Amino acid sequence: MDLTITALPYEYTLPDDLSKLALVIIDMQRDFMEPGGFGDALGNDVTRLQAIVPALKELLAAFRTLGLPVIHTIECHQPDLSDCPPAKLNRGKGSLKIGDEGPMGRILVLGEPGNGIIPDLAPLPGEIVISKPGKGAFYATPLGAILAERGITHLLMTGVTTEVCVQTTMREANDRGYECLMVEDCTESYFPEFKQATLEMVRAQGGIVGWTAPSANVLDTFA
Active-site hit among 20, 97, 132, 135: 132
Task: Tell me the longest C-alpha to C-alpha distance in the chain.
Answer: 52
Nearest to 186 by CA among 83, 36, 86, 49: 49
Looking at the Cβ atoms of 187 and 212, the one nearer to ligand TIU is 187
Stretch that binds ligand TIU, among 64-72, 76-84, 89-97, 157-165 (CB under 6 A): 157-165
Residue 160 interacting with ligand TIU (CB under 6 A):
yes
CA angle, corner 150, sides to 148 and 151, nearest 5? 65
To the query of whether residue 165 is one of the catalytic residues in this protein, the response is yes
ω before 86 within 30° of 0 (cis)?
A: no
The three-state secondary structure class of 182 is strand
To the query of whether residue 31 is one of the catalytic residues in this protein, the response is no
CA angle, corner 82, sides to 80 and 87, nearest 5? 120
To the query of whether residue 186 is one of the catalytic residues in this protein, the response is no
Residue 167 interacting with ligand TIU (CB under 6 A):
no
Residue 138 interacting with ligand TIU (CB under 6 A):
no
Residue 164 interacting with ligand TIU (CB under 6 A):
yes
Site for ligand TIU in 35-54 (CB under 6 A): 39, 42
CA angle, corner 154, sides to 148 and 155, nearest 5? 100
State the minimum distance, in angstroms, from the CB of residue 219 to ligand TIU: 25
Residue 32 interacting with ligand TIU (CB under 6 A):
yes
The three-state secondary structure class of 195 is helix
Residue 27 interacting with ligand TIU (CB under 6 A):
yes
Residue 14 interacting with ligand TIU (CB under 6 A):
no
The three-state secondary structure class of 160 is strand
Instruction: Kindly write out the interface string for residues 60-99 of this chain, putting x where it contacts ligand TIU by CB under 6 A and - elsewhere.
Output: ---------------x------------------------
Backbone angles phi, psi at 153, to 5 degrees: -120, -20
- Measured distance CA(53)–CA(40) in Å, rounded: 18
Q: Which chain residues interact with ligand TIU by CB under 6 A?
A: 27, 32, 39, 42, 75, 135, 160-161, 164-165, 190
Active site residue ranges:
27, 132, 165
